[in-house]
Amino acid sequence: MGTVRFIHCADLHLDTPFRGLSQVDEARGKALNAATFQSLANIVDAAIRNEVDFVVIAGDVYDSADRSVSAQFRFKRAIQCLTDRGIDVFIACGNHDPLNGWSATIEWPKHVHTFAGDRVDIRQVTRNGNPIATLYGISYEKEATRENLAARFPQPETDLPSIAVLHANVGGDTAHLPYAPTTVEELASKGYDYWALGHVHTHRILRAGAPAIVYPGCSQSRHPNETGAKGCCLVTLNEAYPPDIRFIATDIVRYDQTVLDISDCDSQDAVRQAIVGECHAIIRRSEGRHIVVRITLTGRTGLHRELTRSGSLDALLQVVREDLEGEQPWAWVERLIPDTRGSYSLEEQRGREDFVGDLVSAYDTLLDPNSGLLQERSAELEAVLSSWQGYRFLKDPISGETITQEEMAALADQARRMTLDQLVEDI
């Protein structure tokens, strides 16, 4: 087996709306709207620069089955740059871009191959007329595919490097819908050299070799929970060496969530400067990307009551955004989350022999996992919420839970903090 080099990408979600950014100015809004297409351009550039043999897209080229005609033509224009250079493109459709949503009126370049949905499709890649690799892939015919599609994959038919392409939830990842569920063990048993996966938006190497099983992650973050670098994988297969899998960042706008301790800040102006300084630090480590950041303010501070007063953080957020205007790369603070505490010591309040001490003791018992009280409160809350007409929208689509024990504990801790902030300041 000779050397084969290819780009593995997935979850481009072209033309996707960015969440929680309705207040951005016009210039940043344009950058966000163009980000998924620019990340695609970066993938194309990486493929050409590294002289790959082909490109694999493991599902979700678009964000929905009702993709715009504009998005489809812009995608065609981008991959035309690859096919004009003889670089084949192989696409396995996923849950966001099933086969039944692709336009039959757009003529795709001849070097673009979309895997069938009714069977595992087998395609060969050639170089100078000689076969160099075999690809096996299957597309989603419709959006919600809960069948284990991996079970359909046959053993490789040749000694050529074999790459399997599938959009699937491997290992029961609870952060993603259970489409085409399978396991690492099942994939490993099939005998392929490389599994090119899609669906999970975080880059993960589930297995490094024999076979390599890889999620490249999405090419561009779309909301604050998709933090860190996003991109594609440059893969080199050679029988004499383990698979060489190199991550290439292709994102234009990078999301970050950070916690900022403001215990040492003695004024709101000091808090403002700390936030701006944190944004600059994030920009410096973001490799030239624009950033969207969500900042949680923590620490014990005498400013706690002032910062948690209605409208205070919104005003501070606006000032910070103004401070960051005109910078390149730019930073946008999406949200400031208050998680500060009063400057009192919780241990001191716990030792008091009065109502405050009794209250702290009661909260300690409530938060003790062995007491079972949080489970009781969860059941009571569930009974109240179940009569609400919007109850079904509260349920997690994967776990089926309305509120987790972790969320209950966080609510109880917040209630303790809010109560003590009032009592300790007023007594």
Domain borders along the chain are 4-251, 253-343, 347-427
How far is the C-alpha of 289 from the C-alpha of 50, rounded, in Å? 22
Strands in 331-341's sheet, in edge-to-edge order, are 253-261, 290-300, 331-341
- How is 135-174 classified by DSSP, letter by letter? EEE---SSS---S-GGGGPPPPSSSS-EEEEEE--BS--T
**146, 210, 233: which is closest to 182 by C-alpha?**
146
**266, 260, 196: which is closest to 234 by C-alpha?**
196
Q: 296, 260 in Cβ contact below 8 A?
A: yes
Packing angle, helices 405-426 and 373-385, rounded to 10: 100
Residue 227 — φ and ψ, nearest 5°? -90, 160
Q: Are strands 331-341 and 204-208 parallel, antiparallel or unpaired?
A: unpaired
pLDDT given at position 388: 81
Residue 326 exposure: Cα atoms within 13 Å on the Cβ side: 2
* Conformation bin of residue 361: beta by default, left when phi > 0, alpha when psi is -120 to 50: alpha
pLDDT given at position 27: 84
Per residue of the chain (427 residues), give pLDDT as tens: 679 999 999 999 998 877 767 788 888 888 998 999 999 999 999 999 999 999 999 999 998 756 778 889 999 999 999 999 999 999 999 998 898 877 656 888 989 999 999 999 999 999 999 999 999 999 999 888 899 999 999 999 889 999 999 999 999 887 778 899 999 999 999 999 999 999 999 999 999 998 999 999 999 998 888 999 999 999 999 988 999 999 999 999 999 999 999 999 999 999 999 999 999 999 999 999 999 999 999 999 989 989 988 899 999 999 999 999 999 999 999 999 999 988 888 888 888 889 998 999 999 999 988 888 888 888 888 888 778 877 776 766 555 677 788 888 888 888 888 888 888 865 4
> How far, rounded to the nearest angstrom, does the alpha carbon of residue 218 sit from its chain's CA centroid?
7
pLDDT given at position 280: 98
Residue 410 exposure: Cα atoms within 13 Å on the Cβ side: 6
Q: Domain 4-251 classified CATH 3.60.21.10?
A: yes
Fold of 253-343: Rossmann fold (3.40.50)
pLDDT given at position 420: 86
pLDDT given at position 359: 92
Packing angle, helices 312-323 and 268-284, rounded to 10: 50
Residue type at 119?
A: R
pLDDT given at position 197: 99
pLDDT given at position 14: 94
